[in-house]
Structures are given as C-alpha cells and as structure tokens.
Structure 1
Amino acid sequence: MKTISQIIIREWKRIFSIPNFYVVLLVIPPVIFFFYGLIYQKQFAKELPMAVWDEDQSSVSRTLTDMMEQNDNIHFTHTAFSNAEIEKLMKEGKIFGAVHFPKNMESDAKKNHQSNITLYTNGAYLVPAKMIYKGAAEIIIKGGLAVVLEKAEKQGMPAQTANALVQPIKLNSTILYNPDFNYKMYLTPGLITVGLQMALIVAAVLILNLEFKRNTIDDLLEISHSSSQIVIGKMLAHLSVSWILFVLVAFVVFPVYDLEKPGTDFNFFIIYTLMALACIGIGMMLSALSDNLLFVTDVALFFTSPAFVFSGFTFPRWAMPWYDQLYSDIMPYTHFLDGFIKLYFMQLPMHYAMPEVYKLLLFTGVTFPLAVIIFQRKINLYLKNQH
C-alpha cells in the first residue's frame, strides 16, 4: 500500500503538471459542459416559422389557422400562393413547414365531401418536421371532428350522442420521464456524459507510454518494478480525478441548468464510477500496447467519437445492422447510458441497472489484467536492455 500510495501521489503531480493530462481532464471538459447546457437553454424549439396557403378563404380555414398559431410549435410568418412558392421559401431557409387549405374546403365539408388539407414539412430537418406535424395534425383532426359535430348538432342530435358518434374511441396519451420533450433535459446529460468518456479515455491512453516518451520511466521504476502496482496506483489517481469531474457535473453543471433528479446522486455516482474504470482500463491497455502517442490518441478518438451515435441515444440499437450493434457493445458509454437512463432519467432502484453494471465490470476485468501483463513485459525488456 505504501508503494501504491507513492505511485498515486506521483501520478497526481503528473496530472496537474503535464498539459497532456490537465488540459484534457480539467480544462476542456468544464468548458464543453457549460457550452452544451447553453445550446439547449431554451429547452424547447418553439414557434417554428411556417407559411399558410389558403385557397378557401373561409371561416373554417381561418379558424384552423388561428388554432395552429396558438400551438407553441407553430408560428405563421409567410403567406404563400403556390406549391413552388412554398418550396422556394423552404430552400431559402425561411420556413420549416406550410399548410395548404384547398378551394371549397368548407362547402365540401358541409356537403359530406372529403376535403384534403396538405401539410408540408422539411424532412431535411427531422426534429422540426416532427414537431410541426405533431402540432398541426392534432389541430386539423380536431377541426375536422368539430365540423362533423357541429353539423350533427344542427340536425337535432344531442351533443353527447353526437360527440360519441364522431369520436367513439378517444385516445389518452401519457408521456413519462420527459413529458414536455425538453431538449435540455434530454440531450444535455447525454452529451455531457459522452464528453466524459472521451476525456477519460484520451487521457488514459497516455498514462503508461508517456513515461517512456518523457524519459521518466526510471523514476517510476525506482518506486516499483511491479506493473500491477504501477497500474493500480495510476488507475486510482485517474479515478480520483474523474470524481472531480463527477462533482462538477452532478453538483455544479446539473444544478445550474436545472437538471437535478432528487435521490439519484448515489446511483449516478456508482454507474459513473464503473464507466470511468472501464474507460481508464481501455486507455491503459492501449497505452501499454503502443509507445506511439499519436497513434494511440488517434485510436482513442476514433473509438470514442461515434459513441453518441452508436449508443442508441438518438436511434435504437436494435434497428442498427448487427455489426454496428457489435461496435456499440464494445464501448463503455453504451452500457453506461442504458444504466444512466434507468437510474437518472427514470429514477429506478439500482437493481434495474445490474445488467449494465455487470457489462461495465467486464470491461474492467479484461482491460486492467491485459494492461498489467503487457506493461510488465515492457518493464522486463527495458530492464534487460539497461543491463
């Protein structure tokens, strides 16, 4: 323990004095965390600009337009008079969608003739398109039902009977865990934690090989010739620094942006610590494998950069090709995210996240022993060459 303590203290000094470490671990992450929070500070994408093409010019079309304008997602900024004009406005980036009320819409409805309202959305902007569709579709459906209901009541049908006839089955939807579709609540924690994985792995790939690069390996070997002691000591030093980042995220960044989830701190700490150990283990294994700093850094960046995409955060993993699913499984962030959603977003007890806990422990159980074995061979070879 005395030897490991000496290695820990020595590694702390290196972390806080070598730019390769302190910039990656302590300078860049806080800046990125606060920038991520600022991006989604508005929480919702509201009042998306739209155009209206009203050929009917009736009370029904004006009522539907007014109802859509009241929706938080929609704001009519342009009036169009043709399909070509709508396309032109979209190409210029002036609108995200449009609605077209055809001629004789009101009269056709009164004659029991079907009338087709056209809703235009820009699929190149997937999220705004879905939000416009959600907001406009609900109103148009309600408007159509209201027209039928009004006609039935005018024919003498009781309001309750008419309502049951027009809408015999009513859908009640309940959205859990992020009912308001709050972008800040949804995206900011995910982006921050994927940034943590990247920082931890990129720093960890330099832990062992940097000793040779900076010609400090002799100083290290004066403390211990045992790679297991060296790996454990360095691991504990970097793990303790990763806890500084946890404190920053959980008790500074999240509260500043109103992202706290009461009662989740301990479970969040456990799943985060397991991810940190997995990331440090992967980094140290790579660091032991190669002395080429540029190469291992490139490998770390290549490995961690697509983590957000492959994790299933924005697109379900089961819908990905099998080889993409395999790639996602070898990234700690994938399993951390599954556990994080359960423990943080859904505020579930720890036992719900045990599958993810076991998978993260597997990373630790594989990478650290490999790092110990490979680095011990390097130490033995180095000592042999010295003699």
Structure 2
Amino acid sequence: MKLSRLLAVVTKELRQLRRDRLTFGMIVGIPTLQLLLFGFAINLDVRHLPAAVLDEAGTWRSRELVAELASSQVLDFRHRLAVPQQADELLRRGEIGAVVVIPRDLERRLETGGEPAWQLVVDGADQSVQAAARQLAAFPTASLRAGTKATPPAVEIVNLYNPQRRAPVNTVPGLIGVILTMTMVVFTAMAIVRERERGNMEMLIATPLSSFELTLGKVLPYIGIGLIQVTLILLLGIAVFDVPIRGGLVDVYVAALAYISAALALGVLVSTLAKTQFQAMQMAFFLFLPQILLSGFMFPYDGMPRAAQWLAEVFPLTHFLRLIRGIMLRGASLDELWPSLAALAAFITIVLSIAVRRFRKRLD
C-alpha cells in the first residue's frame, strides 16, 4: 500500500463531499439540530398544562389551594367551571388536559382526614398529562395542612380514557402517525427522483401530462398504501394490545386520509428538491427527526419552550396526533377537533402548491 495513492483517494472523497452541499449540510445540520432539540426543546417536566378548575367550596382555603397549584407552573388555569358537564366537554375536545375539582365539603374533609381533600381529573390519553398528575400529587399544599387535626390524602387522581394507565393505549394511536411519516414521506420523496435516475423522465416528457397531473398520479397510489397500513395498525392494536376506538371509525379514516395526503405532499416537495435518491432519503430523515421529537409523541408538548411549540405547529404530525388520540381514546368527533383538521388541510394546500410549481418536466 502506497501512502500517495491512499491520500489521492481521500482527497478525491473530500472534494466530492465539498461539492455535495446537501451531504455537507447534513453532516453539520443533524448534530446541531439534535443538540438544540434535546438541549432546549425537550423537557420531561410538564409546564403550563391547559387546565380548568371546578371550585364547589368557594372558601378562602379553596381559593388558596388554586393559587398554590397555579404557582407550581404545572397547571395553567384557563377555565373556571360551574358544572361538571363543562369539564367533560373541554376534555373531550382536547382544550384542556386536567381539571381540579374542589368539593363543597372541603373543610370537613380536612378536619376528618377520611377522604381526599380534592380531586384531579386528567386526560389519560396523553402520557405527559399523567406525568403532570404525578408531579402535582407530590406538590406540597400548605393551605391544606394548616389548622387540620388529621393528615388527609392530598389528592385523588382520576385518570380518564385510560384508567389502567396502559402504555399501548397511548402509544399505538401515535404510532399510526409515526409509521405513516416514515413510509409516506420516504416513498414519495424518491418517486420523481427515481424516474430521473432511471431515465424514465424522457418518456414522461413526451406525454401530454401537465405538472399537476403527473404529481397527482405519483401521489394517488400511495394513498391506498397508507390506508392499508392504517387498517393493519388498527387491527393489530385491537387484537394484540386491546386499544379502544371510542370515536367513529369513519372519523379515524378521514383523519388518516388527511394526514396521509399531508405526508405525501411533503414527500413530493422533497423529491423536487433532491437530485438523487440518496439525497431524498437524507432530506426525508432530516424532516422526520424534528417531527418525532416536537409533535408530543415522545416528549411532553407542554414542557417545550414557546418557540419550539410554534415550530411544532408547522409539522402535520402534531395535528394528526391530536386528531387520532381525540377520536380513538376520547371519543371526540371531527366537528370537535376541526382546528387540527383545518391545519392539515392548510398544510396540504400550501406544500402541494409549492411542489407543483417547483416541478418541471425536464431532465435537469
């Protein structure tokens, strides 16, 4: 082995990497992105969880309890409720994640110590909310300890929608979105690039197809594939993990169809930017990572900084998780979850329009 020949190959490889701007950007971008996401955006402690309070006691001690819970910064009280039915409606729509219920006989409970002093009703469809409940259960409430003869249990936690606290109930609906993200974006990201690499673009140029027709033709077959994947995941989730579907099955498939279309639109946009299939794979992975980390699938959405939450709102997976968990676990309808569905529709319109405008039936 001659050192000169080895150095020549190394020099050639470095020059090729320097010319490949996308690969060089991934070398720098992926570690930078991971460091920033894990360092700033990812926080396992839930903060400012949207919540409501139902204060049936209306005493100074109940008001002090609410103030102490608000000072913990775990809960962000956005609603003051008059009747329990309002709590059910807000939880089902996903507008809040927890409800603090203070009973009328708060003073008696504090004196006797035989019953929990207050109740925390949480949305068990979200694991981050369950984590917030555990934080609050250990939170010292001085107002409940002062002046009492007994030491009552501080809080009774009621876990709605997942009373057994089974992890698959939370993860399986979210995995629908994760799996569709991995497959749909990658498949379509390489669709047009593959035509160019294999030399099939010349034949397509000779056809009277418009850019929109060709783009739509590339997308439609994968919609059927995505729906098959959704059906397979649902069947396995029900048969193996006993995951419930409390909402309408039609609503589940409408939400899945909207997300499949959004993922395919993103994949088509990537395919118009990449020059090779390898570049398409790199870009798809680059988009896949922040969606998984910021959507609320792995880490609490409410624990992220405000800037990270704004970025998460751009990604379609964030809105799909709200849809699929709301329908399958909380029994909500699409009418109640329309903001997330509208966000997916806007994403599809904008991204697909950009992709169609960028696409040109040419070889270069």
Higher helix content, 1 or 2: 1
For 1:191, the aligned partner's letter is L
Task: Name the SS of the counterpart of 1:203 in structure 2.
Answer: helix
Counterpart amino acid of 1:282? L
Aligned to 1:302: 286
The residue type paired with residue 312 of structure 2 is: S
* 2:219 counterpart residue number: 235
1:214 lines up with 2:198 in the alignment = yes
Alignment check: 8 A CA contact 1:339 1:356 kept: yes
Change (3 A) 1:253 1:216: farther
Alignment of 1:1-387 (within 5 A): 165-167=149-151, 171-376=155-360, 379=361, 381-382=362-363
How far does the alpha carbon of each residue in 1:284-323 deviate from its partner, in whole angstroms, 9 at most, with x for none?
A: 0110122232222111112112423211234333432233
Shift of 1:255: 2.7
Q: Counterparts of 1:249 and 1:188 in 2: how far apart (Å)?
A: 8
Deviation at 1:222, TM superposition (A): 4.1
SS, match of residue 357 in structure 1 = helix
Distance 1:320 1:170 in 2: 28
Separation in structure 2 between the aligned mates of residue 320 and residue 253 of structure 1, nearest angstrom: 29
Structure 1 179/314 Cα, relative in aligned 2: closer, same or farther at 3 Å? farther
> What is the identity, as a one-letter code, of the residue corresponding to 1:343?
I
Over 3 Å counting, the alpha-carbon distance change for 1:169 and 1:247 in structure 2 is closer
* SS in structure 1 of the partner of residue 335 of structure 2: helix
Task: Tell me the equivalent position of 1:21.
Answer: none
Please give the alpha-carbon distance, in whole angstroms, between the structure 1 residues aligned to 2:310 and 2:214. Answer: 32
Report the CA distance between 1:213 and its aligned residue. Answer: 0.8
SS state at 2:158 partner: coil
Deviation at 1:210, TM superposition (A): 1.2
Separation (CA, whole Å) in 2 of partners of 1:198 and 1:350: 25
The CA distance in 2 between the partners of 1:186 and 1:211, in whole Å, is 40
Deviations along 1:60-108, whole A, 9 cap, x unmatched? xxxxxxxxxxxxxxxxxxxxxxxxxxxxxxxxxxxxxxxxxxxxxxxxx
Q: What is the rounded CA distance, in whole Å, between the counterparts of 1:264 and 1:251 in structure 2?
A: 15
1:313-370 superposed Cα distances (whole Å, 9 cap, x missing partner): 3433343223322332222111101111211111112112111001101111011111
**Aligned partners of 1:168, 1:212: CA distance in 2, in Å?**
71
SS of corresponding position for 1:305: helix
SS where residue 190 of structure 2 aligns? coil
Give me the TM-score of the superposition, normalised by structure 2: 0.56
Question: Could you list the runs of 5+ residues in structure 1 that have no partner in the other structure?
Answer: 1-126, 138-163
Task: Please give the secondary structure, in 1, of the residue aligned with 2:209.
Answer: coil
In the TM superposition, what is the alpha-carbon distance from 1:235 to its structure 2 partner? 1.4
In structure 1, how many angstroms separate the alpha carbons of the residues matched to 2:276 and 2:177?
28
Q: CA deviation at 1:264?
A: 3.2
- Matched residue pairs, number? 225
Counterparts in 2 of 1:373 and 1:331: CA distance versus 1, 3 Å:
same
Code of the residue aligned with 1:232 in structure 2: it is: L
Question: Gaps (5+ residues) in structure 2?
Answer: 1-127, 139-147
Q: State the distance in 2 between where 1:368 and 1:173 align.
A: 45
Q: Residues 173 and 325 of structure 2 are in contact (CA less than 8 Å); yes or no, is this contact kept in structure 1?
A: no
Shift in Å, 1:170:
6.9
Q: Using the aligned pairs only, state the percent identity.
A: 24
The change in CA–CA distance for 1:245 and 1:237 in structure 2 (over 3 A counts) is: same
Asked if structure 2 preserves the Cα contact closer than 8 Å seen for 1:342 and 1:352, the reply is no
Q: Distance in 2 between matches of 1:329 and 1:369?
A: 19
Instruction: Return the index of the structure with the highest Cα Rg.
Output: 1
2:334–2:341 CA contact under 8 A, matched in 1: no
Take 1:207 and 1:223, find their aligned partners in 2: how far apart are those partners? 18
Deviations 1:5-41 (A, max 9, x none): xxxxxxxxxxxxxxxxxxxxxxxxxxxxxxxxxxxxx
Give the whole-Å Cα distance in 2 for the aligned partners of 1:186 and 1:283: 27
